[in-house]
Structures are given as structure tokens and as C-alpha cells.
């Protein structure tokens, strides 16, 4: 499936069986706080553009992946609140990149925002509040 | 797959090929503004609870499906802004129901909120602003 | 100032010197989780309708006042996140009522929403996440 | 009142009688998209920190003032949706600055975010969607 290959500098973000793997997986930039994904037919809505739910998934996972690596956490933090502004369409075949910025890593709440771009074009902005997971982590089946 | 059968009063929400069909599809209540879905392994995150992105997808699609039926629209309105508060975990096998309330169907903006419940337990609240789609609608392939 | 008198069933919400008192104060319904206010010239924006910041203040204070009374807290909880959808104009002389609903009073986060109405007309919806204040409470000067 | 004097590079943002003037007014940077304000006792909540409603007012007005100047609009755009994350306390005497970034000035919706800082410390992040006002503009009384 050549159309889901990443661009240079990215590598596959490891996932357990579940929602992300079922939807094609994402790519994490080796150094920068950026997640990439290639849009396939399985991500589309009836207007033949990327489904808002898929883009929300990409934003949410980007926050988790970046926070996890940046703060050396065993699992992604729990999302308390996620707010998404949809600013433009994303189409099949597009390579999208999500740029994450962490604004505050507080004692109780983590605050971060991201921009989802296709090339230079801004297609989505999201921000959210998160909490470090302090419960048990299930073993991989 | 008996575990994605709906409960009584719901019927499969018709979908075109794409993100929703790829993720198991949803069920629309025959009369009330309620969408249902059965959580399967393909919806889970690494903590083995429903992925926040899947629940966002369910919320977003619920707004679209209810608005479309209630206002007799050819396609779901475009999501301008979606805000999600995650209030509790959803587990594999759970039958979840999303209750949609439309607060304003204005000249430019539609405002609505929803509650996602497992039985009586509230697991998520979302609200958003939407606009009626006035562009072209792609033919089904 | 007869134009800031409340309607029956409401009484002045006690305030310390500060922002709320400086802006005319609010009224709390004696039994129901409802806050009222009379719009005066000092609440208006250049379009001669209530300023979005005043309505945000009213929503935020309503959450605090209702949560404080309902859960017997010494001070209003701290606002983590406040989201406001503006749905209609509010005019000078209007008596507005804010109806608060608490969705979850969790171990870490409180989740609540409200509707601001002029008569039966919905003018604003807000929701937010809050945390119980555990720090010191300043003595009244 | 020396304590509401601006810092260099800012000038008083002209206001009509109403909510902003009643609460001390704001300052607009002469060149950059930045609004400043000095916190006085009239902006405080019972914890003796700036009231969340005042900070929401400051954020909302900052969006309006910057958009109005940057796009040469006769009045500030109408706020459709305002989302505020409170990240730190602001105290009496603090000089706060709000940095506005416009992400999209679309045909129907304007999307922007801002950061409110005390010196280098981030105290609030907000973002919103706005629409250009196309109705009548009241004459100044």
C-alpha cells in the first residue's frame, strides 16, 4: 500500500490492536512534535472528504503521542476535554501533518493545542486539556 | 457478528463506503433523536476502553444523522466546531446511546449538544456548531 | 435603581468588593439552580447589546454560585475551561435567567452546562469544567 | 490613577459608553496585535485574583479590537463561539497582555486564538469563531 507510506523523517507510531491500528495507523516525526497520516478511502465521509471524526482521532492521538514521548509517560494522558475547529477540507491521498504545542504541563492539568495542515494549508485547529493516567495499564494481549 | 446487533427500536444508519462503514456503522432510533452503537475491539485504545477519537466520531455522526432526518437535509451539515468533554469510560461490548438536542437552527449556524450514555451512566457530553452544506454532493460510486 | 430589581423568587447573591459587585451584582433563585440579572447600560457593547464578556461573566458566576450552594462549598470552584456559544442578542432592560445543570461532580473534575434565556428565548449556551478550590481563602477586607 | 497607565507602545483603545469603559478600558499596541490591561481591585473575584469573567471579557475584546484594525472593519465581528482555558492566576496590579493570532479569515467564519500573559507567564488561552457584522451600527449617543 504505497499510498500510506510516510514522508521522510517520520516512522510508524507503534499501536496495539484497536481503533488506531484498524484505521491505518499514524506516523510520528523522529524529532519534532509532529504526527503524519495519509488519507485513504477508509477515512472519508459521504462528501468524499476526510471525516470529522477521523480528523478528531488524529488530533487526539497526536496530543497523546507527543505528550507521551516528550514527558516519558508509559501511556498517553487521558483526554478531559477536546475542542476542534474545522477550517478546511482534507482529501483522499493527502498527506496531513499535525503540529502539537504543549502550553502547560501542570500539577493537575496538561494544556495543549495543535494545527493540522496539508502542505501549508491549515485544515483544523484543536486544543484540549489532559491528565496523566495514574491507573493500571493493561498488558498487551 | 451478534455483538453489533442493535437493541429494539433502532435500525442500521445507511452509510456510503468510508470511515463510518469501516468502523462498524451506527444505528439510528426509528423515532427519537438517538444514535446507538456497540463497542467492539476495533474501537478501543491501549487502555482497552473506547478511543476518544471513536467517541468523537460517534458524537459528530449523531449530530449529522439527527439534523439530517429532522430537517430533511440531503447530507449532514458541515461541522464548524466540535467540543467534547470526556466524563467516563466506555468498554468493549457496551451498547452506547447518543441523545442529541438541537438548540438553535439559525439562518447561518446550527447549535446542538449531545449526551453519550451507557445505560443510565453519562460517559461524554459534546456540543457543536454546524452549517447546512450548500455545495455539490458527490454521486455514490 | 428600580431597573435592577429582581423578579419574584430571586434574592441578591452576596458578593465581596470586586468585579461582580462593580457590575451590578446578580440574583440567585431561592430554590432552583437559576441566576438572574437585569441588563443595564453598563453591560452593553458598541452595538448596544449585552457585551459577550458580560454574558460570559454571568455564565461563569452562575456555575460558581449554583455549585457552591448545591455542594455546600466555601467558595466557588475554580474554572478550568469555559466554552460559550452565543445564540442571540440580549438588550438593555432585559431580565436574563441562567439555568445551570451539573452533569458530573467527579473526584477531580466537575462538569456543568447552562442556558441563558430572555423569557423563553435562548440567547447563550455555555459549559465548563471546574475544580474544587483547595487553597487558602482570603479574609474579607 | 497611575496604576492603570499602559506600558510604552500601547495607547487607550477608544470605547463607547458601556461594559468596557465601565471596567477601566483596555490598551491596544500601536503596531502589534496585542491588547494590554492593568488589573485593579474592580476586576477581582473573592479569591482576590482576576475574575474569570473579566479575563473572558479581555480575551473577547482583544479578538474584536485586533480583527477590526487588521481587516479595517467598522465594528468588531460578532462572537459565535468563545472557548477559554484558565491556566494561571492574575493578580491586582498585574499588567496583562493578550497576543492575538488570526488563523483563518474565511468567507463565513473567522477563526482566531489568543494567549494572555503576565510577563512571560501564560495565564489563559482562548480561541473563538467570529462573523463579520453585516447589520446596522448604532450611532453614538
Residue A140: is its pLDDT beyond 70?
Answer: no
Which of A77, A79, A80, A107 to mutate to test binding with chain C, by most C CBs within 10 Å of its CB? A80
Q: What is the pTM of this model?
A: 0.93
pLDDT digits (tens, 9 = 90+) for D4-25: 567 899 999 988 899 999 999 9
End-to-end CA distance of chain D, in Å? 27
CA distance D41 to B119: 48
Determine whether the interchain pair B125/C103 forms a contact, defined as Cβ–Cβ distance below 8 Å. yes
Determine whether the interchain pair A80/C131 forms a contact, defined as Cβ–Cβ distance below 8 Å. no
Percent of chain A with pLDDT over 90: 84
Phi, psi of B77, deg, nearest 5: -60, 160
CA distance C140 to D45: 11
Residue D137: the pLDDT is 85
Determine whether the interchain pair C111/B83 forms a contact, defined as Cβ–Cβ distance below 8 Å. no
Determine whether the interchain pair B113/C125 forms a contact, defined as Cβ–Cβ distance below 8 Å. yes
Which candidate, D87, D129, B134, places its Cα nearest to that of A124?
D129
Q: Which residues of A touch B79 (CB under 8 A)?
A: 52, 84, 86
CA distance C17 to D59: 23
Residue D4: the pLDDT is 58
Q: Which residues of B touch D80 (CB under 8 A)?
A: 80-81, 109, 129
Residues 6 or more apart whose CB falls under 8 angstroms from that of D22 comprise C22, C23, C42
Phi, psi of A133, deg, nearest 5: -75, 125
pLDDT digits (tens, 9 = 90+) for C57-108: 999 999 999 999 999 999 999 999 999 999 999 999 999 999 999 999 998 8
Residues in chain B: 141
Q: Which residues of D touch B108 (CB under 8 A)?
A: 108, 131
Over chain B (141 residues), the average pLDDT of each successive run of 10 is 70 92 94 97 95 97 96 94 97 97 94 98 97 85 54
**Residue of chain D nearest A108, judged by CA positions:** D87
CA distance A25 to A40: 11
Q: Does B57 touch chain C (CB under 8 A)?
A: no
CB atoms within 10 A of CB C28: 23
Phi, psi of A114, deg, nearest 5: -150, 160
* Chains in contact with B via at least 3 Cβ–Cβ pairs below 8 Å: A, C, D
CA distance C126 to C117: 12
DSSP 8-state code for residue A73:
-
SS3 state of residue B61: helix
Residue C137: the pLDDT is 85
Q: Does A106 touch chain C (CB under 8 A)?
A: no
Residue C44: the pLDDT is 96
CA distance D15 to D23: 11
Residue C123: the pLDDT is 98
**Residue of chain A nearest C109, judged by CA positions:** A80
Residues 6 or more apart whose CB falls under 8 angstroms from that of A34 comprise A10, A28, A97, A98, A99, A100
Determine whether the interchain pair A81/C129 forms a contact, defined as Cβ–Cβ distance below 8 Å. yes
* Chains in contact with C via at least 3 Cβ–Cβ pairs below 8 Å: A, B, D
Determine whether the interchain pair A129/C81 forms a contact, defined as Cβ–Cβ distance below 8 Å. yes
Residue in A81, A108, A131 nearest the CB of C81: A81
CA distance B73 to C90: 31
- Structural domains present in chain D: 2-131 (3.10.129.10)
Amino acid at each position: 500500500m504505497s499510498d500510506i507510506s510516510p514522508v521522510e523523517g517520520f516512522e510508524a507510531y507503534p499501536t496495539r490492536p484497536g481503533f488506531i491500528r484498524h484505521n491505518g495507523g499514524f506516523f510520528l516525526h523522529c524529532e519534532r512534535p509532529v504526527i503524519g497520516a495519509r488519507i485513504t478511502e477508509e477515512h472519508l465521509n459521504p462528501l468524499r472528504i476526510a471525516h470529522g471524526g477521523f480528523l478528531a482521532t488524529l488530533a487526539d492521538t497526536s496530543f497523546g503521542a507527543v505528550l507521551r514521548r516528550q514527558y516519558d509517560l508509559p501511556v498517553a494522558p487521558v483526554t478531559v476535554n477536546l475542542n476542534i475547529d474545522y477550517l478546511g477540507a482534507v482529501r483522499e491521498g493527502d498527506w496531513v501533518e499535525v503540529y502539537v504545542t504543549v502550553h502547560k504541563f501542570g500539577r493537575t492539568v496538561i494544556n495543549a493545542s495543535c494545527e493540522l495542515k496539508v502542505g501549508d494549508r491549515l485544515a483544523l485547529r484543536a486544543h484540549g486539556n489532559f491528565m496523566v493516567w495514574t491507573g493500571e495499564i493493561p498488558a498487551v494481549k
